[in-house]
Amino acid sequence: MLAARIANLGGEAAYAPTDVRRREDVSNLVAVACQRYGKLDVLVNNAGLMPISPLDDLRVEDWEEMIDVNLKGVLYGIAAALPIFRAQGSGHFVNIASTAAFLVLPSMSVYAGTKMAVRAISEGLRQEAGDSLRVTIVSPGITRTHFAQRMTDPVIKAQLEERRDQTGMAPNAIARAIAFAIEQPADVDVGEIVVRPTA
């Protein structure tokens, strides 16, 4: 478990089982952080999945799941944290989009649509945030994670896994980008970071 690994390395972590498709789970996670640490400094909306396929396949359940996780999950995070950030007079949203938010490829229409929506919502939130809250969009390119596990199209899954293994970035590249945005002074808002492999 991640929390145990963090503790074993000398860090401190609190956790709550969370399904971002359930608003109450996300609210509970934020409440656990506030109870444990007395405040909430940053919320990273990172959950996402991409069971991509051609639209002709009509995998409507996959489309709905991407909307529920990739888009509604981010909105539930905003709904849970925004009142707390407003009451504190500070806070930082880091919303994870994708390079698919900039370029739509065949079989990725719905996934790209959810990530474009995350960018749009994040930009609107940034404009509404005022001078006390920060909003950062991080858009990763292909990264060596297990993102293809939930893929329902076996051909596309195999292609993406091969591409990931050949050119994908290490996940800590994204973690460093997030840390960079968070570490800036309170009056500096890093609006967007796009992180791609050089290959």
Query: Once rounded to an integer, what is the mean pLDDT over residues 143-148?
Result: 72
Tell me: the pLDDT tens digits for 73-108? 999 999 999 999 999 999 999 999 999 999 999 999
pLDDT at residue 144 above 80? no
What pLDDT score does 36 carry? Answer: 94
Q: Which residues of 141-151 are buried (b: 16+ CB within 10 A; e: fewer)?
A: bbbeeebbeeb
What pLDDT score does 159 carry? Answer: 72
Can you give the pTM of this predicted structure? 0.91
Q: Which residues of 14-37 are buried (b: 16+ CB within 10 A; e: fewer)?
A: eeeebebbebebbbebbeebeeee
Instruction: Tell me which CATH code domain 43-195 carries.
Output: 3.40.50.720
Tell me: the pLDDT tens digits for 2-44? 888 999 999 999 899 999 999 999 999 999 999 999 999 999 9
Tell me: the pLDDT tens digits for 152-165? 777 777 777 777 67
Q: Has 111 been annotated as catalytic? A: yes
What pLDDT score does 148 carry? Answer: 64
- Please pick, among 15, 37, 76, 111, the residue that the annotation labels catalytic: 111
What pLDDT score does 149 carry? Answer: 67
Mean pLDDT of all residues belonging to the chain? 92
- What are the tokens at 11? 């860090």
- CA separation for the pair 187, 120 (Å, rounded): 22
Residue with tokens 């509404």: 128
